[in-house]
Amino acid sequence: MIETLVKPLNKPYCTVMGIINDKCQRCGAIIDSHDFDGFGRLYCRECLAYGKIADTTIIYRCERKITVKNHKIIMPFVLSEKQKEASCFVDDCLTQRQTGFLHAVCGAGKTEMLYLGLFNAMKKNERICIAIPRRAIVIEMAFRLMEVFPTSVIKPLHEYAKNDDDADVVVSTIHQLMRYYHEFDVIILDETDAFPFRGDAFLHRLIAKALKPNGVFFQMSATIDQELAKMIHRKTIKTFTISARYHRQPLDVPKIYNVMEMKTMIFGNHILPEIINMWLNRHLSEKNQVLIFVPTIKYGKLLAMIMQTKGFSTAFVSSESTDTTDVINRFRLRKVNFLVTTTILERGVTFSNVAVAVISADHRIFDLDTLVQICGRVGRDREFPHGEIAYFCEELTIAIQRSIKYIKKMNQRGNKEGLLDNEMPNMR
Ligand SMILES: [Zn+2]
């Protein structure tokens, strides 16, 4: 059902009060019994940004109509044996209504492994939602699904797109799920390990509320956080792991470069440490394009400026950029060699042949999941299955060490399972 705070016109509806037994009926928060507004009404602070829910608020719920369609599937390419196995795993979980987790390395092609399960669920007229933390990836995924399922209705939902009319599949940011109550038979959460979902109780509650009581919740991610690890250990979730990429080449292992006084040189003296300068020059002479990850927007602006004054053809993108698509296109067309970026490009964006540098890789923003995703930016194309990854850091953090360990472990596992065509020299 869809929830609104405005009485629906010409549609049957039911109502519920905004707060019942100290619990917000929209976001599921437990209300502090001292949270009264100026009118003496109890209200919810947690979802206040989306309009006030008080104990006198009426929430309207009405059915979302979906017409029956003749669903068709057009597979973009033939799946590998392992991808087929993963597809069957997804399909089994959805059919048997069993909580499942697909653990797949970056570039394994996990979206493709959903198609069979989605197709079968749609044929049963089930209501499906694919929830993704980031808006840019919501839009990209919706377009991919529209091509694969040409006769089905697929709608992207995010801050600027709210139309879910007749949608068999909605691809939604997690926040948009606030509008639904027991609506979906299937919710697939992609990028489970990504900010902001990880550890966010509010978003977890929205998913629980949007799912039907007998609905199935399925998660996908490249890394396993503690919560998932516990569930896997207790066997409360079914898991399937794909440890290798679809092109059967191992993941590239990052190389660590210790740079003394890096931040002082960059921020204090506005100079590029020589070791970074040499590394960039080598890639320039080899005509390689490089994605350069920095911890903050301020850092990125400064580094891009320093690189430009040194003659490197450099662009910069961050969450503040208004021309992100344009900058990405210029980089794709090889009009710039170096693209400095915050973690905004850590996932979801695919470039066919790039090297990656992480500057100040020891910064706390670069946690295990972020580093694993960043490393996953190289070697995504069958034509260019490898790329160099450099961590420039002053300290060796646990996240840096664990990211390297993770990549080596996945390569070893992929090799053992016969999913790799050749072994890399730095695999062990
Ligand atoms: Zn609330």
Average pLDDT over residues 214-230: 89
**Separation of alpha carbons 176 and 269, rounded Å:** 45
81-242 and 255-416 share one CATH topology?
yes
Question: In angstroms, what is the span from residue 19 Cα to ligand 1's centroid?
Answer: 8
Question: In angstroms, what is the span from residue 308 Cα to ligand 1's centroid?
Answer: 48
Question: In angstroms, what is the span from residue 26 Cα to ligand 1's centroid?
Answer: 5
**Separation of alpha carbons 366 and 342, rounded Å:** 10
Say what the pLDDT of residue 197 is.
Answer: 74
Question: In angstroms, what is the span from residue 134 Cα to ligand 1's centroid?
Answer: 22
Question: In angstroms, what is the span from residue 21 Cα to ligand 1's centroid?
Answer: 13
Residue 182 has pLDDT above 70, yes or no: yes
Say what the pLDDT of residue 423 is.
Answer: 61
**Separation of alpha carbons 409 and 376, rounded Å:** 15
Identify whether the C-beta of residue 1 lies closer than 8 Å to the C-beta of residue 65. Answer: no
Q: Kindly report the average pLDDT of the chain as a whole number.
A: 92
Question: In angstroms, what is the span from residue 33 Cα to ligand 1's centroid?
Answer: 14
Q: Which residues contact 196 (CB under 8 A, 6 or more apart)?
A: 133, 174, 203
Instruction: Return the residue matching tokens 């037994």.
Output: 21
Question: In angstroms, what is the span from residue 54 Cα to ligand 1's centroid?
Answer: 9
Please provide the CATH number assigned to the domain covering 81-242. 3.40.50.300
End-to-end CA distance of the chain: 52
Question: In angstroms, what is the span from residue 41 Cα to ligand 1's centroid?
Answer: 14
Say what the pLDDT of residue 425 is.
Answer: 47
Residue 283 has pLDDT above 90, yes or no: yes
Question: In angstroms, what is the span from residue 23 Cα to ligand 1's centroid?
Answer: 8
121-177 tens-digit pLDDT: 999 999 999 999 888 889 889 999 999 999 999 999 998 999 999 999 999 999 999
Structure tokens at 376: 């996953």
Residue 278 has pLDDT above 70, yes or no: yes
Closest CA to 388 of 266, 257, 277: 257
Question: In angstroms, what is the span from residue 58 Cα to ligand 1's centroid?
Answer: 13
Structure tokens at 243: 């440890």
Structure tokens at 206: 């929205």
201 against 348, higher pLDDT: 201
Residue 424: band (very low, low, confident or very high) from pLDDT cuts 50, 70, 90: low
Question: In angstroms, what is the span from residue 102 Cα to ligand 1's centroid?
Answer: 31
Question: In angstroms, what is the span from residue 136 Cα to ligand 1's centroid?
Answer: 26
Question: In angstroms, what is the span from residue 131 Cα to ligand 1's centroid?
Answer: 20
**Separation of alpha carbons 115 and 110, rounded Å:** 10
Question: In angstroms, what is the span from residue 200 Cα to ligand 1's centroid?
Answer: 14
DSSP state letters, 263-328: HIIIIIT----HHHHHHHHHHHHTT-EEEEE-SSHHHHHHHHHHHHHTT--EEEE-TT-S-HHHHH
299-330 tens-digit pLDDT: 999 999 999 999 999 999 998 888 888 998 89
86-98 tens-digit pLDDT: 999 999 999 999 9
Domain 255-416 has CATH 3.40.50.300: yes
Question: In angstroms, what is the span from residue 191 Cα to ligand 1's centroid?
Answer: 25
CA-CA distances (angstroms) from residue 17 to 37, 48, 60, 135, 324?
17, 16, 9, 31, 42
Question: In angstroms, what is the span from residue 194 Cα to ligand 1's centroid?
Answer: 23
Question: In angstroms, what is the span from residue 231 Cα to ligand 1's centroid?
Answer: 27
Average pLDDT over residues 3-10: 91
Structure tokens at 104: 């797949």
Question: In angstroms, what is the span from residue 426 Cα to ligand 1's centroid?
Answer: 51
Weakest mean pLDDT among 31-35, 79-83, 181-185: 31-35
- Could you tell me the residue ranges of all domains in the chain? 1-63, 81-242, 255-416
